């Protein structure tokens, strides 16, 4: 132990060997966090690695971006989840490379040995190779990105009041959202509500009649992946809120001022929000032979990466074909949670040399909210929309949030915003400018 070389391997990033099988989990999203929660009481040593010290509740990013919720309300410190737990080691680090032959991973903090490695790195924004969008549009796949979007929107309004050039002003006020999935629909609804109820009061100097919110979607209906009825209802609700929904429109380029459209006339905007797609967030060291469409890792029905001993992938990064899902599972929270549950059970069965159980997804339905009191809900045997759907949406999201206080604070925020038609979180909070 006093030999430097030995120490590096034996105590990487200062984690002692406990004799328990060591499960290294990369990523503390829905999948990674759930797996750690399921396993830690069953005599495993858990090492949970994330680049942030908090779990993020992705379904509500759009409310952070539109100043409806604080980042802290939808983020939960990982250490609080595992308070007083001695066999969970949380490490805030970047994973640099997985070395499957040596059964260890290289991180920004040093090398970590594993018995079982679970890749739960999730998905990130997919620009489909279109550089002009990657450079000039704003994605919304993390809390900092959502905050960046909020700051940008507010700064654009602040800038607009100082301008006398009407064209330039309008370009600052117009917002284009690309991608008509739940994120795109929800952010458009929230922006349209802001334009209607909040912005004219905040900026009496500006005329918001000229501000446009435009949703561009390549498909022929919104909410692809949900029912056609849901997509049509969402279209109707957004139209009622004066969102300009452009179906079957394809964007081609964006230079920060002008969006190009295939076969249509271009139009001008300073703010383009990109919600058009995701791709797997691939850690280094995974051989290309395991990677399939959408930058995901192919796994068998036990979530094993075939041919790699002790390596698993769960959640958005995992691509699993089954009879019911021959093209892989949807990249949603429910799949991530259910894969984590199943893998936790299988890891215990492996230790006990019991037979493993194949993953089977139980679709509990999907939903999206539009504006302040409308939503669409697809349950397996029932589809509905409107105010009742919005109540269901609220309840399900509140109950899914980690932390009782978060629930309470979000509930008060929602109630407040609902009663007053107004949020009070319109702060341009800049990073600590220390030195």
Q: What does the binding site for a second copy look like in residue numbers (CB under 8 A)?
A: 11, 13-14, 52-54, 70-72, 75-77, 79-80, 83-86, 89, 91-92, 109-110, 135, 138-139, 143-145, 147-148, 151, 154, 158, 161-164, 201-205, 403, 405-406, 408-409, 412, 416, 422, 424-435
Token pair recorded at residue 359: 């993953």
200 contact partners, CB below 8 Å, separation of at least 6: 206, 208
Q: For residues 99 and 9, give the distance between their C-alpha atoms in angstroms, rounded to a whole number.
A: 14
| Rounded distance between C-alpha atoms, residue 121 and residue 244, angstroms | 35
Closest to a second copy by CB, 47 or 385: 47
Q: Which residue has the tokens 């050039």?
A: 165
Closest to 197 measured CA to CA, from 375, 364, 68: 68
Residue 177 CB, shortest distance to a second copy, in Å, is 17
Identity of the residue, 154 or 356, whose beta carbon is nearer to a second copy in the bound complex: 154
135 or 240, CB closer to a second copy? Answer: 135
Q: List C-alpha distances in Å: 152 to 138, 146, 203, 272, 390.
A: 9, 10, 16, 11, 28
Question: Strand runs (DSSP E) across 128-239, as ranges?
Answer: 175-178, 213-216
Sequence-ordered strand ranges (E) for 148-227: 175-178, 213-216
Give how far the C-alpha of residue 327 lies from the chain's centroid of Cα atoms, to the nearest Å. Answer: 21
Instruction: Compute the least distance from the CB of residue 85 to a second copy, in Å.
Output: 7
Closest to a second copy by CB, 247 or 409 = 409
**Which of 221, 226, 212, 243 is CA-nearest to residue 371?**
243
The CB-of-58 to a second copy minimum distance in angstroms stands at: 15
Nearest approach, Cβ of residue 6 and a second copy (Å): 13
Helix, strand counts (H, E) of the chain: 13, 25
Shortest Cβ 278–a second copy spacing (Å): 17
User: Which secondary-structure segment (H or E) carries 226?
Assistant: none
Cβ distance to a second copy smaller for residue 343 or 402 = 402
What's the token pair of residue 78? Answer: 């990982």
Question: Three-state DSSP class for 232?
Answer: helix
Nearer Cβ to a second copy, position 144 or 284? Answer: 144
Q: Which is nearer to a second copy, 80 or 293 (CB)?
A: 80
How far apart (Å, rounded) are the C-alpha atoms in residues 350 and 369? 41
CB of 72 to a second copy, least distance (A): 5
Structure tokens at 395: 């309840």
Exposure pattern of 45-54 as b/e (b: 16+ CB <10 Å)? bbbbbbeeeb
Contacts 24+ apart (CB under 8 A), 9-14: 9/111, 9/113, 12/104, 12/110, 12/111, 12/112, 12/113, 13/91, 13/93, 13/107, 13/109, 13/110, 13/111, 13/112
Cβ 67 to a second copy, closest distance in Å? 9
Q: Report the residue number, 164 or 289, with the smaller CB distance to a second copy.
A: 164
Element (H, E) at 320: none
Shortest Å, Cβ 319 to a second copy: 27
Task: State in angstroms the smallest separation of the CB of 430 from a second copy.
Answer: 6
Considering beta carbons, is residue 163 or 396 the nearer one to a second copy?
A: 163
CB of 87 to a second copy, least distance (A): 9
Residue 107 or 331 having the CB closest to a second copy: 107
């Amino acid at each position: 132990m006093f030999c430097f070389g030995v120490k590096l391997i034996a105590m990487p990033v200062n984690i002692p060997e406990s004799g328990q099988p060591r499960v290294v989990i990369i990523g503390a999203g829905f999948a990674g966090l759930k797996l750690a929660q399921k396993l830690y009481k069953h005599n495993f040593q858990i090492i949970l690695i994330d680049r942030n010290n908090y779990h993020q509740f992705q379904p509500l990013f759009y409310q952070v971006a539109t100043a409806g919720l604080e980042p802290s309300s939808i983020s939960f410190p990982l250490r609080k989840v595992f308070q007083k737990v001695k066999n969970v080691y949380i490490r805030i680090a970047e994973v640099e490379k997985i070395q499957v032959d040596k059964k260890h991973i290289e991180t920004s903090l040093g090398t970590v040995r594993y018995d079982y490695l679970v890749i739960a790195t999730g998905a990130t924004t997919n620009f489909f190779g279109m550089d002009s969008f990657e450079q000039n549009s704003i994605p919304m796949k993390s809390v900092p990105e959502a905050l960046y979007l909020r700051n940008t929107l507010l700064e654009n309004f602040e800038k607009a009041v100082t301008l006398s050039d009407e064209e330039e002003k309008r370009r600052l006020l117009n917002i284009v959202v690309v991608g008509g999935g739940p994120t795109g629909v929800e952010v458009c609804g929230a922006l349209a509500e802001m334009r209607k109820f909040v912005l004219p009061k905040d900026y009496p100097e500006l005329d918001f009649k000229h501000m446009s919110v435009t949703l561009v979607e390549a498909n022929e209906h919104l909410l692809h992946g949900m029912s056609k009825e849901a997509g049509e209802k969402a279209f109707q609700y957004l139209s009622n809120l004066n969102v300009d929904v452009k179906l079957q429109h394809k964007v081609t380029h964006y230079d920060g001022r002008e969006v190009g459209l295939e076969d249509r006339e271009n139009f001008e905007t300073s703010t383009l929000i990109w919600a058009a797609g995701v791709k797997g967030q691939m850690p280094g060291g995974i051989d290309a032979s395991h990677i399939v469409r959408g930058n995901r890792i192919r796994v068998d029905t036990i979530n094993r990466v075939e041919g790699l001993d002790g390596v698993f992938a769960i959640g958005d990064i995992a691509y699993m074909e089954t009879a019911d899902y021959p093209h892989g599972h949807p990249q949603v929270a429910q799949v991530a949670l259910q894969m984590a549950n199943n893998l936790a059970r299988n890891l215990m069965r492996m230790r006990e040399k019991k037979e493993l159980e194949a993953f089977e997804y139980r679709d509990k339905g999907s939903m999206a909210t539009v504006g302040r009191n409308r939503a669409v809900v697809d349950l397996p045997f029932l589809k509905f929309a409107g105010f009742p759907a919005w109540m269901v949406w609220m309840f399900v999201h509140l109950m899914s949030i980690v932390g009782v206080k978060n629930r309470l604070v979000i509930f008060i925020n929602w109630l407040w915003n609902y009663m007053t038609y107004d949020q009070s979180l319109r702060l341009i909070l800049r990073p600590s400018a220390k030195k």
